[in-house]
């Protein structure tokens, strides 16, 4: 679970397959209660929040998104378990037939892409186009710069 200061990190973690809760309106007490009840790890930049008793937490040390990703991935990466999640709502993405999204994505995308995924929770449709390639290139550069 990511606190209010880590919304961008939460989106990236979801794309990497991490089950990451994020609610920018949640108060500290709510975050702590959810983490304790569900066994989740709280990601926060707030030292006092991370120091609470009985709470599994990670103090995210940097303001820089790339450094934040490297810190989390170094500690929690589990090869072979990655299944991208919805960057908006954390739902588990499901592969869908190309013809089921016709008219729901830009025409150029529908013509040039063969594989699509949809979030059953919020309906977001994703594909691995140029944006995905840029994301993967950025992640690869991060990993190369800071090997796990």
**Alpha helix (H) ranges present in 18-87?**
28-38, 47-50, 65-76
Please report which confidence band the pLDDT of residue 147 belongs to, taking 50, 70 and 90 as the band edges. Answer: low
Beta bridge partners of 94: 118
Position 146 scores a pLDDT of: 62
- Lowest-confidence range among 71-80, 87-96, 102-111? 71-80
- Report how far residue 143's alpha carbon sits from residue 64's, in angstroms, rounded to the nearest whole number: 15
Q: How far is CA 32 from CA 42, 44, 134, in A?
A: 8, 11, 35
- Report how far residue 86's alpha carbon sits from residue 141's, in angstroms, rounded to the nearest whole number: 23
Q: Is the pLDDT of residue 83 over 90?
A: no
Q: Is the pLDDT of residue 61 over 80?
A: yes
Average pLDDT in the chain? 90
Residues near 95 by Cβ (< 8 Å), separated by ≥ 6? Answer: 115, 116, 117
Please report which confidence band the pLDDT of residue 128 belongs to, taking 50, 70 and 90 as the band edges. Answer: confident
Please report which confidence band the pLDDT of residue 143 belongs to, taking 50, 70 and 90 as the band edges. Answer: low
Residues near 102 by Cβ (< 8 Å), separated by ≥ 6? Answer: 110
Q: Is the pLDDT of residue 81 over 80?
A: no
Q: What residue ranges do the domains of the chain occupy?
A: 4-76, 94-145
Q: Is the pLDDT of residue 136 over 80?
A: no
In terms of residues, how long is the chain? 148
Cα dihedral 136, 139, 141, 147 in deg (nearest 10): -140
């Amino acid at each position: 679970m990511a606190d209010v200061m880590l919304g961008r990190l939460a989106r990236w973690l979801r794309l990497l397959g991490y089950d990451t809760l994020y609610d920018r309106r949640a108060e500290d007490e709510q975050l702590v209660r959810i983490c304790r009840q569900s066994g989740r790890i709280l990601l926060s930049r707030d030292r006092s929040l991370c120091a609470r008793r009985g709470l599994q937490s990670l103090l995210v040390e940097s303001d820089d998104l790339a450094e934040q990703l490297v810190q989390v991935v170094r500690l929690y990466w589990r090869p072979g378990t990655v299944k991208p999640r919805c960057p908006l709502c954390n739902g588990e993405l499901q592969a869908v037939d190309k013809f089921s999204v016709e008219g729901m994505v830009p025409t150029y995308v529908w013509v040039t892409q063969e594989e699509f995924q949809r979030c059953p929770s919020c309906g977001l449709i994703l594909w691995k186009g140029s944006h995905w390639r840029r994301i993967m290139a950025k992640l690869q550069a991060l990993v190369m710069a800071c090997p796990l």
